[in-house]
Amino acid sequence: MARRNFKVLYVSGEGSPFVRVSSLADYMASFPQALEEEGFEARIMMPKYGIINDRKFRLHDVLRLSDIEVPLKDKTDMLHIKVTALPSSKIQTYFLYNEKYFKRTGLFTDTTLGGDHKGSAERLIFFSVGVMETLVRLGWQPDIIHCHDWHAGLVALLAKTRYAKHDFFKKVKIVQTIHNVYRQGIFQSKAFQKHLDAEVFDALEKDGDTVNLLATGIKHADLVTTTSDRYARQIAADPELSFGMDKALQACGDRFHGILNGMDTRQWNPSADKLIKKRYSVEQPELKLEDKKVLLEEVGLPFSEETPVVGVIASFDAYQGAELVGESLAKLLELDIQLIVFGSGDKEFDQALKEVAEENPEKMAFRPEFTDAFYHQMIAGLDILLMTSRIEACGMMQMFAQNYGTVPIAYAGGGIVDTIEEVCGDKGTGFIFTDYTPDALTSKLQEALALFADKERWSALMLECMGRDLSWSASAGQYAELYRNLLG
């Protein structure tokens, strides 16, 4: 292992296995570990939401990190820290907690996406200032603060304004990574004006009476990245694909880079996965059938070796495929498949899925509640994974699927296509559809089903999927080079 000569703090609004909303959580579970192997000392900070179970994840209080003052413009609140190690690593993960802000079960929610967003702006301001104050109390001085998505955009700004002259932060560099460009953290400005000093408030990126936290992070970061070179080029050039962020990215010039995601092949490894019922490998791929049986039993569907099990896993919104899944259901249920939908959207969407599943008890199951164990079991037990996102920076789920011999079918939106080799003849690891329509999705699925009927060809396809190197090794090296260049 290379000598650990630089320190990096990762700031995120989510992280697996503690709380998961999007692929960012999967990224945070593995990326810091990959950079540690490149010689960087990594630590993580995230909010201690009310839904995070202290006992389950072995969170414990740190006496010297209790009663940290978080000074806002109009008041001072107290912060408490809980800590644990990121599973399968020694990376310290710090959870910032204040009962008033985080006892409730809701997460930070961008007001433009609906949902539980009451008080989110104030909670986020408290968290962001809390990150900076916790670092000072901790005495652990990072060389880089790596901010992820809009949840950490204010941290980037604080480092360049209020804390810029603080001896502790004078040499700190800021990296901002975009995982979900359509989630931008757009809020009414009044809470920010109330709780932030004028120096910070005036430097926020605003549009009328709203602030944009992702745009703020992009503007003030020393380096901006996203999770695929193809996706980086797309969103810098196209206002529609970037949801209006193209000019901000163009202004970055050579500060903006795209680096493909990798995956943790220790955590996501069918031969060593403790969360699945039956472990299997390239040498014994036939054992995957046992996980298919367990999955179907768990969701209450009958088992048939000849019937392909197709799954959709998403936190459904307009961009994650809610509309496409809803419009495709009737066509999908006409096919000779069993369908499992894992994830949830708004209440009406969830209710509609539940009703369709109840009307088709032999063919469809719906599981809205997320658990890490079921997530792993589903990836292992499916034959085919449908990726229905309208735009995906890169994602990681299709990588997990391939590693488990589960064949992905994905829409060609963003960088996801860089991780799937289109099936052509005897080669390939998945299927890509280029029109975002129910007809295109079901047509591509029918291609896959035709191969599934050919047991010899399907077995070869599974083995090709499982044989791909989707680890972080190459991508982590590229990030390490960016980090070192940034630090001179």
| DSSP-derived secondary structure letter, 414 | B
**Location of structure tokens 């900070």:** 45
CATH classification of the domain holding 218: 3.40.50.2000
Residue 228 tokens, joined: 């695929």
Pair (40, 87) in one structural domain:
yes
Let me know: does 4 contact 41? Beta carbons within 8 Å: yes
> What domain count does the chain have?
2
Q: What is the pLDDT of residue 343?
A: 86
Q: What is the pLDDT of residue 115?
A: 46
Pair (170, 44) in one structural domain:
yes
Q: What is the pLDDT of residue 306?
A: 94
Pair (301, 394) in one structural domain:
yes
Pair (300, 169) in one structural domain:
no
Q: Strand, coil or helix: what is 400?
A: helix
Averaged pLDDT in 10-residue chunks for the chain of 488 residues: 75 92 89 94 95 92 91 93 91 94 68 56 94 96 97 97 94 96 92 95 95 97 95 93 94 95 92 95 94 97 96 83 90 96 86 94 93 94 94 89 97 88 91 95 96 95 94 93 94
- Answer whether residue 99 is part of any domain: yes
Closest alpha carbon to 316 in 378, 367, 275, 242: 367
Q: What is the pLDDT of residue 105?
A: 61
- Answer whether residue 384 is part of any domain: yes
Let me know: does 261 contact 230? Beta carbons within 8 Å: no
Q: What is the pTM of this model?
A: 0.91
- Answer whether residue 361 is part of any domain: yes
Q: Is 221 left (phi over 0), alpha (psi -120 to 50) or beta?
A: beta
Q: Annotation-wise, does 20 bind a ligand?
A: yes
Pair (445, 477) in one structural domain:
no
- Answer whether residue 250 is part of any domain: yes
Pair (217, 304) in one structural domain:
no
Pair (256, 379) in one structural domain:
no
Pair (448, 479) in one structural domain:
no
- Answer whether residue 57 is part of any domain: yes
- Answer whether residue 257 is part of any domain: yes
Q: What is the pLDDT of residue 89?
A: 87
Q: What is the pLDDT of residue 317?
A: 75
- Answer whether residue 1 is part of any domain: no
Pair (34, 78) in one structural domain:
yes
Q: What is the pLDDT of residue 111?
A: 47
- Answer whether residue 85 is part of any domain: yes
Q: What is the pLDDT of residue 107?
A: 66
Q: What is the pLDDT of residue 416?
A: 87
One DSSP character per residue, 264-294 reads: -TTTS-TTT-TTSSS---SS-GGGHHHHHHH
Range of the domain at 29: 6-263+472-487
Q: What is the pLDDT of residue 103?
A: 79
Q: What is the pLDDT of residue 118?
A: 61
Q: What is the pLDDT of residue 345?
A: 80
Pair (100, 214) in one structural domain:
yes
Pair (236, 158) in one structural domain:
yes
Pair (321, 232) in one structural domain:
no
